[in-house]
Every structure is written in C-alpha cells, then in structure tokens.
Amino acid sequence: MKCFKNATVYVDGEGLVNCSLAFDEKIEKISHLGIAHGDVIELPEDAIVLPGFVDQHIHGAGGSDGMDGTVEDIAIIAKTIAAEGTTSFAVTTMTQSPENITKAMEAVKAYREANSDEGARVVGIHLEGPFIAAAHKGAQPLEYVKTPDIAAFDAYNEASGNAIRIVTLAPEVEGAEAFIKHLTEKGIVSSIGHTGAKFTDIEKAVANGASNVTHTYNAQTALHHREIGTVGSAMIIDELNCELIADTIHVSVPAMRLLVKNKPINKISLITDAMRAKGIPDGVSELGGQVVYVKNGEARLEDGTLAGSVLRMNRAVQNMVEKVGVPFLLAVDYATINPARILKIDEEAGSIKIGKRADFTVINANYDVLMTVRGGKIIYQA
C-alpha cells in the first residue's frame, strides 16, 4: 500500500481537501484523520494531487506518431505524455491510405495486448478521418479523403481489436447518416469535425447519435448570423461535447471564453491534438507524409496551415485558468472526468474516489508536473 499523507487532494464530490490517500492499483482509502500504514510518498508543501489527465485526441509526441504503426512508437508517446500528467489517452489516427490506417490499428491492438504498465494507458483509438469533407481537410492529405464506408470502418475496427472509441466525420457528406447510426449502435462516439456542416446537418447527426465535436472552431464552418454552422451548433446544442485545443494558437482566448460561456460544465474536453514534435526541440517535423515546421510552440505546414499542436495538457489547464478565467477545478474537470465520460472510462478513471484506479497527476502552484501515477505506479517523477 502506498500513501500520500496530509496532502492537498481534489476528492470527487468534496473539492480540494487536506487528507491522506492510500492506494495500490486502486484507491483504497481517503481519510481526513490520517492513515497510519503504507509507504508514504513525500510531496512538496505546494503540491496538489489531481486525477490523472485524459487526452481523447492526441496523434503523437516524443518524435513518434500513432500512424507510424509500431508498438515501439506508441510506447514512446505513452512515456512522453506521462511527463505532462496524462495517464490515459486515445491513440489518434489521421486520413491516410487504408494500408497505413490498418497498420496503425494493428499496432494499437498489439500494444494493448502486451499490457504495458509503462507510461500513460492506451484506452482506445480516435479515428480522425478518412471520412471527412475535402474542403475542410485542414492538415489531412486530400488524396485519402473518403466518403463514409461502414464495411471499411468495420475492417479497421476488427484490425484494432475493437478499440475504436471515437470517429471524426463530416455529417453532411453522402452516407454519413447511416454511418452515424451504425457507430451509435456499436457504442462508438461520432464526432463532428473537418466539416462544412450547417445547423440542419448537425441537428440530424445529433438525432442519430453524434455526441462530440472535434477540435471546436478548427476545420469547420464558422458562426454566421444567417447560418450558425458547426461552431454555432456546437454552442447551442447541449448534447454535444466540445473538444478544445487550449493553446491560444488554434483558438483565441476570447473564442475560448465564448465556448465556456455557452457550454454546460460537463461538455468541454481539453485535448492536445499534439503531433510527433511535442516533447522535442523546434525544427522540421512530419505529419501524414507532409513536412511540418515547428517554431515557438506552433506547428504548421509549408502553406501556413496549422498541423496539430505541441501543447502539453498541464499547460492547457493553466491557460484555461490564467487566460480564460475558468475556475481551477472546472479546468481540471475539462482534462479529466469530461473526456473520461466520452471515452466511457469514467467508472474507473477521471476522478479521485474510492474504488477507482489510482491515476494521479501531482502539480505545483506553477502547474509543473511533479509526479504522475498510473494504476498505483509512478510513471513519471520530476
């Protein structure tokens, strides 16, 4: 048994409290009176114990990408993002050839079957493309964009060991309605993204089960007073959870404030949408066979198109608090329990509660990650 003694902890239903926390693989005891037994893990005075961060949309880190299609590359991503407090993530793919997507699916299956306890836990796959709108492809390669194809999806899902949890798609393209219904029947999240959808398209998609918006504001129709598009629909349809890249590059601070003001508190998920250049020095990188230039925290294609981010989740939380003005614990919820619900792991992760997995992020007053614990094991320590 391990123990944080007399620590400041974000306890589910109680907020920030001073308590002792005993755990093995799961959380065994939360005591306001102290815990006499267990191996005490010493923490600095300003340390705050939070639930482990959950990233539902991340492509890569540490020089590796989920589309590299190897167990070794997934392991590098998992270990790299542990340093930012992430304990669970969805390996996110992109629009590519069927062969490359299948290879990525098979790698995730092999990685999960190996059951590694190093780095963050892979809880599934976010299939971002190829079923998107060509006109809103963003940094996705145009030649591989496809209309929704149930048979192709089922083949990908089978190759992954049924690990696909989220599918980004454009609801206005031909075949999307049947595709969304198919995903809903399988319990998989349909996420509206890389799309030219209008309000009526999104209203229909939600009626068929769509429940998430991929990197809200980016690569989708903007708000207009005569057609509110994807952005406006995301704000007024409460059922839709909104992903947000809170790096102040992909989305401005006022735009983030607008989203926060319009969404229920349980309907925003912070994502990093990070690519392989996260965690390594600035320079030339790659995304889907395209050259990416990384400088001063921005990752762009040669034509200036944003190509994912190098954002760290702890800094996303910090930006929400210090720049957007979100209360601290709500910003933490955006990075923990909200994405855990989308990935359907909220019964076991996303908050600190007896019986849940011992997944913790320990930060200081500057939002620096001091320690990351996954399933009771320290996977990162500063």
Across the range 240-268, mean pLDDT stands at: 98
Whether the pLDDT of residue 155 is over 80: the answer is yes
Q: How far apart are CA 27 and CA 6, in angstroms?
A: 16
Whether the pLDDT of residue 251 is over 70: the answer is yes
User: What's the one-letter identity of residue 111?
Assistant: Y
Terminal C-alpha separation, the chain: 22
Percent of the chain having pLDDT more than 90? Answer: 91
Alpha helices (H) along 186-327: 199-207, 229-236, 253-262, 313-322
Burial class (CB in 10 A: 0-12, 13-18, 19+), 222: exposed
Q: How far apart are CA 126 and CA 90, in angstroms?
A: 6
Q: How confident is the model at residue 307 (pLDDT cuts 50, 70, 90)?
A: confident
Q: What is the pLDDT of residue 289?
A: 80
Per-residue pLDDT reduced to its tens digit, 14-71: 999 999 999 999 999 999 887 767 799 999 999 999 999 999 999 999 999 999 999 9
Whether the pLDDT of residue 283 is over 70: the answer is yes
- Supply the mean pLDDT for the chain: 96
Instruction: Select from 223, 208, 224, 103 the least CA-distant residue to 159.
Output: 103
For 275, half-sphere exposure in the C-beta direction (CA atoms, 13 angstrom radius) is 26
Whether the pLDDT of residue 199 is over 70: the answer is yes
Whether the pLDDT of residue 232 is over 70: the answer is yes
- Give catalytic residue positions: 273
Q: What is the pLDDT of residue 287?
A: 82
Q: How confident is the model at residue 308 (pLDDT cuts 50, 70, 90)?
A: confident
Across the range 68-77, mean pLDDT stands at: 98
Across the range 221-231, mean pLDDT stands at: 97
Q: Helix, strand, or coil here: 380? A: strand
Q: How far apart are CA 48 and CA 365, in angstroms?
A: 8
Whether the pLDDT of residue 106 is over 80: the answer is yes
Percent of the chain having pLDDT more than 70? Answer: 99
Across the range 72-85, mean pLDDT stands at: 98
Across the range 214-232, mean pLDDT stands at: 97
Alpha helices (H) along the chain: 71-82, 98-114, 150-159, 176-185, 199-207, 229-236, 253-262, 313-322, 328-334, 337-342
Q: What is the pLDDT of residue 18?
A: 95
Q: What is the pLDDT of residue 241?
A: 99
pTM of the predicted structure, to 2 decimals: 0.97
Across the range 255-270, mean pLDDT stands at: 98
